[in-house]
RNA sequence: GGGGGCUUAGCUCAGUUGGUUUAGAGCAUCUGCCUUACAAGCAGAGGGUCGGAGGUUCGACUCCUUCAGCCCCCACCA
């Protein structure tokens, strides 16, 4: 290695090492009973999705744990895969076909599914390739897809099992209907958005009277399906009307006026038009009061034949306009007001949902969710940050039955068959029945619907493993890392499934990642175009830089504001490590590496860095254990940059440039060994750079990798307070001199002469101070007098004089000293105030008081010395 | 209407169970440097009465109450 580029170039090394890791099969895990498993299952991205910064954050965190545990000797297994994402994928394919002039319903189920598979095969590999660019160490041999044949079967088996347990039923209910994909969706798939609408006041004539009853509505078009009017039982205004009938304008239907506690007298007019087929609340009232349920919409939310002819076949919003203008013409519209309310949108379809009465399959949740609630409450499953526990608890205790059928084709088809001949009980079976068990008819028809995507992903934590042996070994998994927005969709349901089907928790810890926002705090989204493409960022800054930056800026439980140029931070850090390596390796070309000298010629700098490293390692492991992953990056950063680069390497230079070959070898060998340690602890965060440097340090055996090297262990005996104290002292002296130099703008090329009033300084201390403070000479003795034309500093009671003959600005120096004296006097005043407070002396801990007393004497001494210096300045 | 989170330097954020002088880092700013690892760098400096008010305490960025602002989640006000 003769020429090492000055700057780290990630694009030259990343692909090379990823390929190497795959070739060496480093990420693959097999059952090994001699090792403890450490398992993570990936939150499977949508099969045709592309990588977002959210994925980057979440997969980097998983990779950090997997890589750390792998190096620590665990059998680390990270199972990757993708989700067929029923509705998301299907709507993409529908849109694509539409652009080609092809209609889903015209080509039919089979051809449509062919198109979906084609689409999946075309785009399905993209996100996987992108994840590899990020450097994640998934076991790709275990890659799974929720529509894999055997996985598909598991989903079906689960349905059948639940059906047999009596947990699944079919029923007609109001569901959230997505008119764009013409399917039911679950409550969780509806997003509510503020919308500026109107509140229309409409009067309905009361039958056999001249009176009117006035109602208010945000959705006048639904009046075509009105079958009642409700008022609060206590509302005096309407008491006389209860039991009478109103005549529905435009339709001419007689509808009953009744009372119901759901109605709030204060809102609107206090009278509510009731449309049981198109409003969940009205539905409840409809059932209680035996109202007619008139469905006025087709599946695409256009009006059907249940409305008067002039309104038929129109889009719901067209009907709204038309209804209003008719009402106006006929004098029924009283007034309209601006009104802000929340409108539910389909998460995938992006259009307002329509509450819609239809026949669907439901899963009873109450009973099966109980054990899942317990394990979170009692801490078998831990959330990080743990305040999500509350959210979880609230949802779980108010859980509703889950609508699991979707009027879609891309997914797991519901394993239910109906006999067209006897029309008895539906046949529920994993394998297709050949004949009806009741009448032997072969006229069987399978349910057209598929299952909600999440009925496949809730099995993910264990059914990604194919055999029972593997499930026994790898399950429960250790950690789940996911975005908090799928806590109900996925996390809760996985815990439910784990507890119900395997009687075991699916994972011990759940880490909820930050939500990524742009620098204005807006959520990153495709439509805003404010989300940088991670691959472009990787190409520009490097995968390691992106990984480190995003983790460094993502504190647990808080949103993170991110922009591409923040990655300069990570890039600079990578470059810093690169150059530290470059320095060591360049020296290794001329200085012999000799591991037998590793413990020879130790001085306090060596003891200090060992001490710092072991403390750092201890802190780092603790941070990872407590899921303070953001903190862990800070620990690594400051050790590498400040301790190792700024001080240790700089200190080692004076010994590396001396002429004792053995000392040179000892120092360089040690430095490189320390560097290797630091590469190891940084590796899970920045895998590519660290592998590149680790491989460059020495000739490695074929197949060796830092990924499988042994993670350092804390050696408490190397934690050395004396060495840290000594280092502290030397650093203070150097900083004092540097401050004088900086303040006086003396260029580093001008070597200074320094006098220190101290009895003794070791040879190393002298060398280090000279080197780092750029001194020409250093004189010390306990009787040194303040030289003329010198600047001064008092460090830990020790006077330091920097001779500045001919260049000193006495005014400036006086100012500097005065400022320092004022600073100390300020602090002293604070301490004295404390100490003169009897209660403090009486109540505070003895050590604290003692510390303050010590400070007082120290500061008084420093101040006096500085005052003398100031007085004698000439 | 409930629940949760946030508010510390111009910007983005640290600050562990309340007690090392005058609260830290990175970026940005200013000054001096191409010092043979790194200008993506080195050295130095300036910059914050920790959102407001009150309280607990010998002592509060840290604990409590309250107010204000911002953000999320949940909930059947048509």
Judged against a pLDDT cut of 90, whether residue A849 lies above it is answered with no
Judged against a pLDDT cut of 50, whether residue A727 lies above it is answered with yes
Closest by CA to A234, choosing from A209, A210, A205, A266, is A266
What is the arithmetic mean of pLDDT over A306-328?
94
* C-alpha to C-alpha distance for A160 and A154, rounded to whole angstroms: 10
| pLDDT in the model for residue A323 | 95
Residues 771-800 of A with CB under 7 A from strand B: 774
Pair A393, A376: CB distance under 8 Å = yes
What is the arithmetic mean of pLDDT over A553-579?
89
- The tokens for A459 are 């099995």
Pair A229, A273: CB distance under 8 Å = yes
User: CA of A522 vs C1' of B4, distance in Å?
Assistant: 19
Query: Quick count: other Cβ atoms within 10 Å of Cβ A642?
Result: 12
Q: For residue A569, give the nucleotide whose C1' atom is nearest its CA.
A: B26
DSSP letter string, A621-687: HHHHHTT-HHHHHHHHHHIIIIIIIIIIIHHHHHHHTSS-HHHHHHHHHHHHHHHHHHHHHHTTTSH
Pair A415, A428: CB distance under 8 Å = yes
Residue with tokens 């600073």: A823
Q: Tens digit of pLDDT for each residue in A584-620?
A: 999 999 999 999 999 999 999 999 999 999 999 999 9
* C-alpha to C-alpha distance for A336 and A321, rounded to whole angstroms: 13
| pLDDT in the model for residue A555 | 76
Higher-pLDDT residue of A77 and A631 is A77
Q: In strand B, which positions have an atom below 7 A from any protein CB?
A: 3-6, 11-15, 19-22, 26-27, 31-35, 37-45, 57-59, 70-78
* Sign of the alpha-carbon torsion through A750, A753, A757, A759: positive
Judged against a pLDDT cut of 90, whether residue A341 lies above it is answered with no
Residues 741-770 of A with CB under 7 A from strand B: 741-743, 745-749
* C-alpha to C-alpha distance for A538 and A545, rounded to whole angstroms: 8
ipTM metric: 0.94
Between strands A212-217 and A253-259, the pairing is: unpaired
Q: For residue A271, give the nucleotide whose C1' atom is nearest its CA.
A: B78
- The tokens for A773 are 């403070």
User: CA of A823 vs C1' of B47, distance in Å?
Assistant: 17
Judged against a pLDDT cut of 60, whether residue A2 lies above it is answered with no
Pair A564, A530: CB distance under 8 Å = no
What is the arithmetic mean of pLDDT over A435-464?
94
* C-alpha to C-alpha distance for A794 and A385, rounded to whole angstroms: 46
* C-alpha to C-alpha distance for A21 and A67, rounded to whole angstroms: 12
* C-alpha to C-alpha distance for A180 and A315, rounded to whole angstroms: 12
Distances (CA, A) of A570 to A342, A546, A551: 42, 6, 10
Residue A600 class from Cβ within 10 Å (0-12 exposed, 13-18 middle, 19+ buried)?
middle
pTM of structure? 0.94
Closest by CA to A226, choosing from A252, A265, A200, is A252
Residues sharing a CB contact under 8 Å with residue A86, sequence separation 6 or more, in sequence order:
A406, A408, A410, A411, A450, A451, A452, A453
Of how many residues is chain A composed?
874
Residue A196 class from Cβ within 10 Å (0-12 exposed, 13-18 middle, 19+ buried)?
exposed
Q: For residue A826, give the nucleotide whose C1' atom is nearest its CA.
A: B22
Higher-pLDDT residue of A704 and A820 is A704
User: CA of A520 vs C1' of B60, distance in Å?
Assistant: 32
Higher-pLDDT residue of A525 and A827 is A827
Q: Is the CB of A523 under 7 A from strand B?
A: yes
Distances (CA, A) of A257 to A208, A233, A239, A274, A334: 13, 11, 10, 10, 19
- CA within 13 Å, CB half, A415: 21
3-state secondary structure at position A62: helix
| Residue A264, strand partner residues | none
User: CA of A662 vs C1' of B14, distance in Å?
Assistant: 43
* C-alpha to C-alpha distance for A480 and A40, rounded to whole angstroms: 6
Closest by CA to A541, choosing from A562, A513, A512, is A562
* C-alpha to C-alpha distance for A870 and A817, rounded to whole angstroms: 7
* Sign of the alpha-carbon torsion through A842, A844, A845, A851: negative
The radius of gyration computed from the CA coordinates of chain A, to the nearest angstrom, equals 37
User: CA of A754 vs C1' of B41, distance in Å?
Assistant: 27
Q: Tens digit of pLDDT for each residue in A166-214?
A: 999 999 999 999 998 899 998 888 888 878 888 999 999 999 989 999 9
Judged against a pLDDT cut of 50, whether residue A1 lies above it is answered with no
What is the arithmetic mean of pLDDT over A778-805?
90
Residues sharing a CB contact under 8 Å with residue A91, sequence separation 6 or more, in sequence order:
A180, A181, A348, A349
Q: Is the CB of A394 under 7 A from strand B?
A: yes
Q: Tens digit of pLDDT for each residue in A644-673?
A: 999 999 999 999 988 899 999 999 999 999
DSSP letter string, A587-601: HHTTS---GGGTTSS
Residues sharing a CB contact under 8 Å with residue A201, sequence separation 6 or more, in sequence order:
A214, A215, A216, A268, A269, A333, A334, A335, A336, A337
Closest by CA to A649, choosing from A677, A668, A676, is A668
Residues 537-576 of A with CB under 7 A from strand B: 553, 555, 557-561, 568-569, 571-572, 574-576
């Amino acid at each position: 290695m003769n020429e090492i580029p000055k700057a780290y170039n990630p694009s030259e090394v990343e692909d090379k090492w990823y390929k190497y890791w795959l070739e060496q099969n480093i990420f693959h895990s097999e059952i090994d009973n001699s090792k403890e498993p450490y398992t993570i299952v990936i939150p499977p991205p949508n099969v045709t999705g592309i990588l977002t910064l959210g994925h980057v954050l979440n997969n980097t965190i998983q990779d950090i744990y997997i890589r750390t545990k792998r190096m620590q000797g665990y059998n680390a297994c990270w199972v990757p895969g993708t989700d067929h994402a029923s509705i998301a994928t299907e709507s993409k394919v529908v849109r694509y076909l539409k652009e080609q002039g092809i209609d889903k319903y015209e080509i039919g189920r089979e051809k449509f599914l062919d198109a979906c598979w084609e689409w999946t095969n075309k785009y399905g590999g993209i996100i996987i390739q992108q994840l590899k660019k990020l450097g994640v160490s998934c076991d790709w041999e275990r890659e799974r897809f929720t529509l894999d044949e055997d996985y598909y079967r598991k989903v079906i088996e689960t349905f059948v099992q639940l059906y047999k347990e009596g947990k699944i039923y079919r029923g007609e209910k109001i569901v959230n209907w997505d008119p764009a994909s013409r399917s039911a969706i679950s409550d969780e798939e509806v997003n509510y958005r503020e919308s500026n609408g109107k509140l229309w006041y409409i009067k309905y004539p009361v039958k056999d009277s001249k009176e009117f009853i006035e109602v208010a509505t945000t959705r006048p078009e639904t009046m075509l399906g009105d079958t009642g009017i409700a008022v609060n039982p206590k509302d005096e205004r309407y008491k006389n009307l209860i039991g009478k009938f109103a005549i529905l304008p435009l339709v001419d239907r007689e509808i009953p006026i009744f009372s119901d506690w759901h109605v709030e007298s204060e809102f609107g007019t206090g009278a509510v038009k009731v449309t049981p087929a198109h409003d969940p609340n009205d539905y409840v009232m409809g059932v209680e009061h035996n109202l007619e349920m008139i469905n006025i919409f087709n599946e695409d939310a256009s009006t059907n034949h249940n409305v008067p002819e002039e309104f038929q076949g129109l889009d719901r919003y067209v009907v709204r306009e038309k209804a209003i203008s008719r009402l106006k013409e006929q004098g029924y519209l009283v007034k309209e007001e601006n009104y802000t309310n929340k409108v539910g949108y389909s998460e995938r379809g992006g259009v307002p949902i329509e509450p819609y009465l239809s026949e669907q399959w439901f899963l009873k949740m109450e009973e099966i969710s109980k054990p899942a609630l317990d394990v979170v409450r009692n801490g078998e499953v831990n959330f990080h940050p743990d305040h999500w526990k509350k959210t979880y608890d609230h949802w779980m205790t108010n859980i509703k039955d889950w609508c699991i059928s979707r009027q879609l084709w891309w997914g797991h088809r519901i394993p239910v068959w109906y006999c067209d001949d006897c029309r008895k009980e539906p046949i529920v079976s994993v394998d297709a029945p050949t004949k009806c068990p009741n009448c032997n008819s072969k006229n069987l028809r399978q349910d057209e619907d598929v299952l909600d995507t999440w009925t496949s992903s809730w099995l993910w934590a264990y059914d990604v493993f194919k055999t029972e042996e593997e499930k026994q070994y790898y399950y429960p998994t250790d950690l789940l890392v996911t975005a908090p927005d799928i806590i109900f969709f996925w996390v809760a349901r996985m815990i439910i499934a784990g507890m119900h089907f395997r009687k075991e928790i699916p994972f011990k810890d759940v880490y909820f990642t930050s939500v990524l926002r742009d620098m204005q705090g807006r959520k990153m989204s495709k439509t805003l175009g404010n989300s940088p493409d991670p691959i472009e960022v990787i190409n520009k800054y490097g995968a390691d830089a992106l990984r480190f930056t995003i983790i460094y800026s993502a504190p647990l439980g808080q949103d993170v504001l991110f922009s591409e140029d923040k990655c300069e931070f990570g890039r600079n850090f990578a470059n810093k490590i690169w150059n530290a390596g470059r320095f060591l390796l360049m020296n290794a070309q001329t200085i012999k590496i000799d591991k037998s000298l590793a413990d020879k010629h130790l001085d306090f700098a060596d003891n200090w860095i060992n001490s710092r490293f072991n403390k750092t390692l201890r802190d780092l492991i603790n941070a990872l254990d407590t899921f303070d992953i953001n903190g862990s990056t800070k620990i690594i950063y400051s050790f590498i940059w400040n301790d190792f680069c700024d001080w240790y390497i700089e200190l080692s230079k004076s010994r590396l440039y001396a002429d004792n070959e053995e000392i040179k070898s000892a120092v360089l060998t040690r430095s490189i060994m320390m560097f290797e340690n630091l590469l190891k602890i940084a590796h899970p965060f920045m895998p590519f750079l660290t592998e590149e440097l680790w491989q460059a340090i020495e000739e490695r055996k074929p197949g060796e990798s830092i990924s499988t090297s042994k993670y350092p262990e804390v050696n408490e005996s190397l934690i050395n307070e004396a060495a840290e104290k000594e280092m502290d002292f030397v650093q203070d002296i150097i900083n004092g001199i540097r401050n004088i130099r900086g303040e006086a703008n003396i260029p580093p090329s001008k070597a200074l002469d320094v006098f220190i009033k101290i009895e003794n300084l070791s040879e190393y201390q002298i060398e280090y101070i000279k080197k780092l403070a750029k001194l020409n000479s250093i004189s010390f003795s306990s009787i040194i007098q303040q030289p003329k034309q010198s600047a001064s500093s008092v460090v830990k009671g020790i006077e330091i004089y920097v001779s500045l003959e001919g260049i000193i600005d006495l005014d400036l120096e006086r100012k500097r000293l005065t400022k320092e004296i004022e600073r100390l006097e300020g602090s002293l005043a604070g301490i004295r105030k404390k100490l003169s407070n009897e209660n403090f002396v009486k109540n505070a801990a003895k050590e604290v008081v003692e510390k303050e007393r010590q400070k007082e004497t120290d500061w008084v001494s420093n101040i006096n010395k500085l005052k003398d210096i100031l007085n004698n300045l000439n």
